[in-house]
Structure 1
Amino acid sequence: MDCPECDGDPVPFAVPADLREHAPESAATASICPNCLAVEPAPETDAAAGTDFARVHESFPAGDGGVAFALLVGTLPSIALRKGSARALRERAEREGVDVALAFDRLVDATHEAAVVPGFDLERRVRQLDSLLER
């Protein structure tokens, strides 16, 4: 399956039932593109081989925290409309041991190195996320 945004090779991952409401199209399986960070629904068979979030970036969180973080990245292009999902996903990622601020800092650094070229201004959207979700 190719990324519909940039023709990259997306990283598929299973979405736990309690996070599906935050996934694109409430999908049981989604994917994140290591090139442009697009998060899209994916065929369920794609996640059967396991998830290698390191393909997105070497510092990308792994495991259940990585799933919540990947879905959180997927909220960024429309952060104002998906504030509730963003809050729930950030909290879930943090409960799973992800330092969300550090993970975003490293992902932003990857965009500066042109290792990742998102279809949106990642740095600006992360600032908007922080502003919208100030505790």
Structure 2
Amino acid sequence: MACSNCGTATISFAVPEEYRTDAPSAASVVSFCPHCLTLEPATGEATQTSEGDPEFTRVSDGFPTQPARAVPLALAIGLCSSLATNRTAIELLLREVERAGTDPLLVLDRLVADPSVDPAIDLERRRHQLEQLLY
């Protein structure tokens, strides 16, 4: 599937039941763009590596590849377009990323610095706001 925002091939992944309310349209499968970091409901099945995990290695070297870390982080980034509306969900998702052993703010720093990533939102500004939200 191609991203409707930038045309890049997306990463489709299954959304665990506990995160479905945070997914676009409460979708069971969503597509995440590794270039502009947008998130949309997917019409097909999840794409996987030979190990059975989503292809998060396509996002950036700084993005986690383990689903327990990458899925809530991708969902949180997808919700950042409306921080005021999604504040509670974003905070909970980022806490899940932290519990899984990844610093979400460090990942956002790396995404901002990665020239292959061109977020659809002002990720640098959102990163500052998320830091205030978490601490």
Superposition TM-score, scaled by structure 1 size: 0.89
Alignment check: 8 A CA contact 1:76 1:126 kept: no
Task: Specify which of 97, 100, 112 is matched with residue 93 of structure 1.
Answer: 97
Partner of 2:108: 104
Indicate whether 1:118 and 2:119 are aligned: yes
Gaps of 5+ in 1: none
CA distance in 2, matches of 1:9, 1:73: 18
CA distance in 2, matches of 1:16, 1:95: 16
Residues 92 and 134 (structure 1), Cα distance of their counterparts in 2 relative to 1, 3 Å cut: closer
Q: Which residue identity does 1:83 align to in structure 2?
A: R
Q: Which residue identity does 1:56 align to in structure 2?
A: V
Superposition TM-score, scaled by structure 2 size: 0.89
Partner of 2:70: 66
Task: Specify which of 55, 58, 63 is matched with residue 55 of structure 1.
Answer: 58
Indicate whether 1:9 and 2:13 are aligned: no
Deviations 1:38-93 (A, max 9, x none): 01111351335641111011221122110011111111111111001101101111
Number of aligned pairs?
Answer: 131
Partner of 1:81: 85
Q: SS at the partner of 2:125?
A: helix
Deviations 1:6-55 (A, max 9, x none): 11111111110001111111111112101111011113513356411110
Percentage identity across aligned positions? Answer: 38
Partner of 2:41: 41
Alignment check: 8 A CA contact 2:36 2:117 kept: yes
CA distance in 2, matches of 1:69, 1:94: 10
Gaps of 5+ in 2: none
